[in-house]
Amino acid sequence: MSSILTSTITGINAIKILINNTANKIINPKYKDEIKQNIFIEDTVDEPNFNAGVRIKKVYDDYNDFIKEEKRKISERVQDEQTKIEEYLKLEDLFGEKSSIFTLLINQLYSSIENDVVNNNVNIFNENIEKNLKTIISELKNFDEKLSFLEKDVKESITEKIKKANILINQIYNTNIDIRFFPTAQLPNRVDSFIDKRDQLIDELNDIIGVKVVKENNSFKVCLNNGMCIIDDHNKQNLIALTSSTDDKYISVGYWDDNEKTLKKMEHMIPSSSLGALLMFRREDLQNARNKIGQLTINFADSINECHTLGYDILGNLGKQVFNISNPEIISSSTNQSYLPTSIKWVSTSDAQDTNYVVFLKNNHWTVTRLRDRSVVESDIYQQDNNTYITFDGIEFKIEGDNAEGNIYMIKPYSKTLNQLELLIVKNDRFSISSSNDLSQMNKNNAIKIHHLNQEKIVNKKETLYESYRKFLKSISYKCNDLEEKVPFKRNMIEILKNKKLSESDNFHENYQNLSYEQKCYLANVKILKMAETIFNEIVDCYS
């Protein structure tokens, strides 16, 4: 086996030199006599069978088109991944900068409760505890401001990418018209500059939205990777930025369908490249970040609220809420057939999940879907007084009146959580320290319970606040590091494919014949190596 592999590898190396020699002759026909390397390989060459001229040129054109398309595919992925890296770094910096909220600041709060209330018999929210609470709220609001700035920055970047794509679409369309009507017969060598210009413009457009060129029956088309044509010999399709009057952070991309005379969303048609990466980052990573910090804030604030309202102060009165927490946001679809009064509230924040939801009515059945993973939520649904109540993941959603088939609602649990978080207590308000309202049996059990919340697994009932925060931060870092490892290799692939365009040499018949033969030899040796790899992997599997 080793002798076969040795022979095969030697053969591949030899054929590679032959192919390089022949390719250099094709690319640099004037210097073909200077390219000499001694290769000895036994075989016979097929007799030439060419129709010359047009057929040979088509071979070169097909090869050059293939190289360009492969380079564009890799460049599209590089732009996609490089854009994601840039955005991940911004998000990672923000979460890294604010990590002290769920480490230092919350630890200081619970330490002050332990020292002042539990150990030193303070029975009020003194200046120290109040200051720690206000500091946490202030930092969470600052987090919200910086996250909103990042959301706005991404929205502006998407808008600029759409504008740039439209400029390129117009330029490619106009250049293609110039090429179609160019007087090639009178100026046979001048059209190449226009073709090169068109190729360059397509390369730039590809980096933004990802495209492929389709040539058939003397026609020229530029299509999205899903097949939708955006430029042909007679028409062009520009992109439209889609925004929302109810959500100033929302942006997507669409187009005008002339056949149906309607505006259509096309975000799913641009899954990669720089624009696709920004759309995905906004839709998934940025939204996940807001939902995660919102979930942690809800868990933190309401766990204190719940404990404090179950305890009693030194006079035997029930404790009051410490924080005011905003309710989720409801966005009704513009396509709804009926517009009914709706309301929503938290009923159990311990069940809160870091996701948005879509609630829709189909075949007279309500379905709730988590947008984070597209999973369907088991919800509790019941009717009362002509009202529909849908309870899921600690949220109660109420719809008044009769619903129409196809009605859709978007639920955003945390869109206002950070911004509207408020402290309801003031300095010297009484702290609910006791688990009993019997003044003769007052204790500190409730204060101790609140103090221990810092070690409780209150996030999804399996993680502490700090553990959940660090886990999310690590997930961002992992995505960024993974992409940073891949991008350099792909950039090298682009460099390899550059300047690999072939042109016809003086002896194109002979050189093409040799190149065809050499490629067959190369592929034969590669097949042997592939089979050897298969055999080796099967042997490893047997003993692993």
pLDDT in tens, 249-293: 899 999 999 988 999 999 999 999 999 999 999 999 999 999 999
Q: How confident is the model at residue 405 (pLDDT cuts 50, 70, 90)?
A: confident
Task: Evaluate if residue 535 carries a pLDDT over 80.
Answer: no
Give the pLDDT score at 415: 94
Residue 55 has pLDDT above 70, yes or no: no
Q: Residue 340: pLDDT above 90? A: no
Are 368 and 396 a contacting pair, CB within 8 Å? no
In the three-class reduction of DSSP (H, G, I as helix; E, B as strand; rest coil), residue 349 is classed as helix
Q: What is the mean pLDDT of the chain?
A: 85
pLDDT tens column, 107-122: 999 999 999 999 999 9
Query: Model confidence at 25, in pLDDT bands (50, 70, 90)?
Result: low
Residues 408-422: tens digit of each pLDDT:
999 999 999 999 999
What pLDDT does residue 16 have?
A: 61
CA angle 137-138-140, nearest 5°?
65
Residue 493 pLDDT class (50, 70, 90 cuts): confident
Q: Does the structure show a pLDDT above 90 at 181?
A: no
43 pLDDT more than 60: no
Summarised one tens digit per residue, pLDDT across range 196-222 is 999 999 999 999 999 999 988 788 999
**Per-residue confidence band for 45, with pLDDT thresholds at 50, 70 and 90:** very low
| Distance from C-alpha of 324 to C-alpha of 424, rounded to nearest angstrom | 6
For 430-447, what is each residue's pLDDT tens digit?
A: 999 999 999 989 999 999
SS3 at position 263 = strand
What is the per-residue pLDDT across 60-83, written as a single tens digit (0 to 9) for each? 677 778 888 889 999 999 999 999
The residue whose two tokens read 């859709």 is: 408
Give helix 465-497 / helix 54-97 axis angle, nearest 10°: 160
**How far is residue 455 from each of residues 265, 443, 467, 536, measured CA to CA in Å?**
46, 21, 10, 51
pLDDT tens digits, one per residue of 373-392: 999 999 999 999 999 999 99
In this predicted structure, the answer to whether residue 316 has a pLDDT above a threshold of 80 is yes
CA distance 325 to 474: 28
Write out the two tokens for 176: 């293609």
Which residues are within 8 A (CB) of 270 and not within 5 positions of it... i.e. 6 or more apart?
209, 210, 224, 253, 276, 279
Whether the predicted pLDDT of 531 surpasses 90: no
Of 12 and 105, the structure prediction assigns the larger pLDDT to: 105
Cβ 290 vs Cβ 419: under 8 Å: no
Q: What predicted TM-score, i.e. pTM, was given to this entire model?
A: 0.80
- The answer to whether residue 524 scores a pLDDT higher than 70 is no
